[in-house]
Structure formats: C-alpha cells, structure tokens
Amino acid sequence: MNELHRKIRDEFLPVVTSPGQYIGGEFNQVRKDVSDDGVTVALGFPDTYAIGMSHLGLAILYTAVNQMEDVVAERVYCPWLDAGEVMRDKNITLFSWESRTPIREFDILGITLQHELAYTNVLYMLDLAGITFRADQRHEDEPLVIGGGPVADSCEPVADFFDLVVLGDGEDALPAVIEAYRVLKKNKATRREMLIQLARQFPFVYVPQFYQCDYNDDGTLAYFEPTIEGLSRCIQRAQVMDLDNATFPTAPLLANTESTHDRIAIEVMRGCPQRCAFCHAGHTRGKLRSRSINKIVELAWQSYLNTGHDTVSLLSLSTSDYPDLAELVKRLYHQFENCRVGISLPSLRVDKQLRDVPGQVSGTRREGLTLAVEAASGRMRRAIGKKVTDEDLIATMRTAYEAGWQKVKLYYMVGFPGETQEDIMGILHLTETISRLRREVASQPATVNAAVSWLVPKPHTPFGWIPQQSPDYFLEAKRELIHAKRQLKGVSINLKFHHTDGSMLEAVFARGDRRLSKVLETAYRMGAKFDSWHECFDFNRYMEAFKTNGIDPAFYASRQRGEQEILPWDHLDGGNKEHLYHRYMRIMKMLQE
C-alpha cells in the first residue's frame, strides 16, 4: 500500500461525509493493467458521484474505452466541499476511483461538459489534481485534457483549459483519438506534435490553442481562424449512425451510494425530430437515429441480469417520438412481467401517440407522469415549434388518470420573445385545468408540480441571436404566478421556479467567448464551485469576477446579436446558421401577427 492509499484510508474516508461515494470497487467495475506503451485514461465527471454515476454518456465511454486492448479507463468525480477541504489539508491529490492513481499520472483526462454552471468544477478538478489550468502552459508530463459532451459545441469560455475537445458522439470518436494517441506516445511525440497530429487527423477534434481570434471595438468577434496549416476552419461533429451496433454498457456500474437515477437507462433514440426553437440538444445531436425494439429489449434484459435494478428508463430527447413506442412498452412490459421491474418514460412530449402509453406503463411503481409542455398558450407553442395541442394534452392526461396515475409534473418556460402577460398566466390556468381533470375519474384532483424555468437562449438554435429577458422580468412573472396561485382553491398545485441569477449566468456562458475564461478562473479563485447547487451558488462572487476582469455580463446575456455577427460557436459544427436565422425571423413574424 502506497502513501496515497494509506492517506485515503486513514485520513480521508473516516472524516468525510458519505464516504461510501469515494471508495470505488463498485459491482461491474473494470480493473485492468496496461503495458508501458498502453494508455491510461481518467474519465472525469465535473459534479458529484451521485450525479456522475447516473450519467449514461460516461458509462458508455467507460465501456468503449475499456474494450480497447492495452488501454484502461478509470473514473473520477468532483469531491464534495468537505472532501475537497480534507484533500487540501492532508495533501491528498485527486485520485481515480478504481486504482486510486493520482489523476496527474494518467495519460489522458477526459472531462464531460454537461452544462455551463459546471465550468468552475472543471477548474476544481484540475486544481485538486495539480494540473495546470491553461492548456498552452501545461508541461510535457501532464495529462492531455480532453473535453466533450453536450456543451462542447459552445465551449469557448472554457476552451483555454482544454488541450482538445471532441465534438459529437464519443463512443467511436474517443477510442479513435486514444488509438492515435497511443501511436504518438510510442513514437515519443511531444505534446504539441500530438495535438497538431490529432487536430489534422480527425475532423471532430478541436484544439483551441491552434485557433486565434480578435475583437471589434464594440466587443463582437472580428475573426476566428486556425493558426496551424492544415486545420479546418469549422470542426465537424462525430456521429454514430447505427445505434443497434453502437457500444452500450450492459453491465453498468452499480453505485455504492444512492445515485440520482438508480436505474437501467436505455437510450432508445438519438437526435430529435422536433427542433423546438429553444432546444440546444434538439438542434445539435444530428440526424435522428433509433434503436430497434429487439435491441432495446435485449439491452434492457442484459442490464437487468447484470445489475438487478428495478426500473428501466427509456432515454431520448423525445421518447414519445420513438417510431413504435406503444409496441416497445408492451414488449418491455411482457419481458419484465414477473420481475417486478417498472418502466419509466422521461422526456415525454404530448401528442396523439402518447395517449396510448400511460395505460400500458405499469409495474412495481407508477411514479408521476412528467410532460414537457414548455409554453402554456397554443400560440406560443406553435411559434416555438412545440407540436402540442391542448386537446392532445387533455386527452393524454385523461387516459393517464383512468390508468391510475395520480401525480403529474409539467415543465414550463418563461421568457420567450413576444411573450405576453396572457402567455405567462396561462401556465397557471393550464396547470389548474390538468389538476381538476382528474375529478372526472376520481374523487380528488391530481397533484401537479409545475416547474417553471427561465429561457436561456442557446447557441446553435433560432434563439441564438435574441437577448435573454432581464432577471427583473422573471422575478415579476414569478411574483404574479405565486400571487394567482394563492387565489386557487380545491386543487393541489406546486409551483417551482429556477434560480434567476443562475439562469442569467447560464445565458452568459452558453453564448460566451474566450474572454470569459478569466472570469471563470477569478470566480473559482474566489471560491465558486458546484454552482448548480443552490447551497453553493453565490451570484455576487461572479459579479465581482466580472468586475475584476472588466467584463459586462449583459454583453453576453441580454444583447441582440446581428445577422452578420461572427458568433463564438460558428466554428463548432452545430446547425445551419442561415437556416436557423431564417427560422428565427419566421418565429418573430408569427408572434407579431
């Protein structure tokens, strides 16, 4: 046992809260030894163990990389605040969950970028690992820090911290990069030589330090171009076309402690046919691909045998768009009939197909039905491309109540362009209607949880040009909804609201450029981390960091962009910019009519 192992056992685990999350050794864990020429990869998740263990993407990459010969992937998560303090006090470096190897000793550290408020956690992990923050200042013996994940296509605020970023689907792309890395390592290529070679070899690899930009007097981008010959001006997205044959973890790790989604997760579809105007994922995941029913049932069954989970969750951006959802649910129901395994369908969109589903989904648990309505008024839903009618919604809910469902969760958004007072108050009216609807089949109204979030205009979407509404606008909407809800009698409605300051910061970093890396670093030095956790988030800290660096957050959050403006994500393959702008114009026209 080396000194680090001893310190973790004697000085770390006995004093941190919920030590079970740091011990590793989970059932289905992979332990491998590699040769000197092999490649060691640490897959990092910039949030807690409980959230990271629920993340299907990381599980897929863990499986894909560990399937490679002479390559090992281990995991690392963000230690919670108390654990981070202990690590600093006791001089314990960030370690991998499997072998407790210092992260700094790995060849590659891969970090998934899930959302903008996790950016400071990237710095937190690098800091605890003793890895230099800025990629162009890293030493030869430090790991290659690779980024990827959902917001990699708008990663400019954190671009300086990554040696390279892989765009798009990772299960084939990351192993390909690792394989190329292995050859370069064997040939004793320098860090710079490796990065040049990888950027040239793969169209989906973005090496930020090989691109430079400058700014106009008004703060907008003047140009953005590669500094190395042979590099593309636009990075393409890697795509896995055949989901049936794509790598999938049928023996996923079983979390030692309770995780956010303690269940089997099967991705039934990738991409989204809806293209709702606000949705970043819908516009950036590429062509719609689905898994066959046979494959889904096979994967779910294998995963059940290897884990013993009691719920199968069907994941996709819009599960109700699965070509034959009713048949899939029926097949799964029959497969798991005597196993006390429930079927869970998150991300449901309300349409005619969905009407049949609630009655079929049953099992050990009939949890609440979750529906993404987004906008309460039909006018706004039509404008943003949300193909949901009130009739479909009412019919679906009636079916659900008849099938025994008692709870429903509805997602709404406030802050759309052209939004009226009527649109906002419609949230409460629609929620009330849905709650009272249950009285038609039962004695009590349904309990409805309405989660209201504030629109964050996202890059690569038709709303990429619009300003975000001000925090005051959101607070006023919140006040009015709460006030109106107090007048209601005889219904069970819970309104929940997102944090307005957090949404504003999201808007800043979602459409930010490289100048924001200084803000992130300053905010981190001032103590910012776990910013998506209410108990950790401190908006004033960020405001101070903006001020220190002479940056106005309103420039990023609440500024209307021009049609010809070079956007900080133009070089990262998303959608067709011209098409998106035309759609934006069409939406505005619809809302003005």
Where does this chain bind other proteins (CB under 8 A)? 9-10, 13-14, 18-20, 22-27, 254, 256-258, 262, 305-310, 340, 364-366
Minimum Å gap between C-beta 339 and other proteins is: 8
- For residue 390, give the H/E element and its range: helix 390-402
Integer Cα distance of 138 and 374 in angstroms: 44
Integer Cα distance of 457 and 564 in angstroms: 18
Provide the phi-psi class of 404: left if phi over 0, else alpha when psi is between -120 and 50, else beta: left
Minimum Å gap between C-beta 340 and other proteins is: 6
Residue with smaller CB distance to other proteins, 35 or 338: 338
- For residue 313, give the H/E element and its range: strand 311-315
Minimum Å gap between C-beta 95 and other proteins is: 13
Residue with smaller CB distance to other proteins, 22 or 546: 22
Residue tagged 């949030």 (tokens): 47
**Structure tokens, 123:** 């710095």
Integer Cα distance of 84 and 92 in angstroms: 9
Minimum Å gap between C-beta 2 and other proteins is: 15
How far is residue 433 from each of residues 376, 428, 486, measured CA to CA in Å? Answer: 11, 9, 16
Minimum Å gap between C-beta 25 and other proteins is: 5
**Structure tokens, 312:** 């199968």
Minimum Å gap between C-beta 308 and other proteins is: 3
- For residue 39, give the H/E element and its range: strand 39-45
Integer Cα distance of 322 and 226 in angstroms: 40
Minimum Å gap between C-beta 408 and other proteins is: 16
Integer Cα distance of 201 and 189 in angstroms: 15
Integer Cα distance of 310 and 582 in angstroms: 46
Residue with smaller CB distance to other proteins, 8 or 41: 8
HSE-CB for 56 with a 13 A CA cutoff:
19
Residue with smaller CB distance to other proteins, 232 or 406: 406
Backbone angles phi, psi at 18, to 5 degrees: 45, 60
Minimum Å gap between C-beta 27 and other proteins is: 5
HSE-CB for 520 with a 13 A CA cutoff:
31
3-state DSSP of 57-104: HHHHHHHHHHCCCCEEEEEEECCCHHHHHHHHHCCCCCECCCCCCEHH
Minimum Å gap between C-beta 292 and other proteins is: 26
Residue with smaller CB distance to other proteins, 49 or 204: 49
Minimum Å gap between C-beta 364 and other proteins is: 6
Residue with smaller CB distance to other proteins, 10 or 327: 10
Residue with smaller CB distance to other proteins, 11 or 244: 11
Minimum Å gap between C-beta 23 and other proteins is: 4
Residue with smaller CB distance to other proteins, 272 or 343: 343
Residue with smaller CB distance to other proteins, 278 or 336: 336
Q: What residues are paired with 223 via a beta bridge?
A: 214
Residue with smaller CB distance to other proteins, 27 or 223: 27
How far is residue 468 from each of residues 345, 372, 593, measured CA to CA in Å? Answer: 31, 21, 22
**Structure tokens, 221:** 């981008």
Minimum Å gap between C-beta 305 and other proteins is: 7
Q: What residues are paired with 493 via a beta bridge?
A: 448
Whether residue 415 contacts residue 469, with contact meaning beta carbons closer than 8 Å, is answered with: yes
Minimum Å gap between C-beta 257 and other proteins is: 5
Residue with smaller CB distance to other proteins, 18 or 370: 18
Exposed / middle / buried, residue 3 (Cβ in 10 Å: 0-12, 13-18, 19+):
exposed
Q: What residues are paired with 192 via a beta bridge?
A: none
b vs e for 271-296, b when ≥16 Cβ sit within 10 Å of the residue's Cβ?
A: bbebbbbbbbbbbbbbebbbbebebb
Minimum Å gap between C-beta 9 and other proteins is: 7
Residue with smaller CB distance to other proteins, 365 or 582: 365
3-state DSSP of 316-344: CCCHHHCCCHHHHHHHHHHHCCCCCCEEE
Residue tagged 């990237």 (tokens): 122
Kindly give the pairing relationship between strand 311-315 and strand 342-344.
Answer: parallel
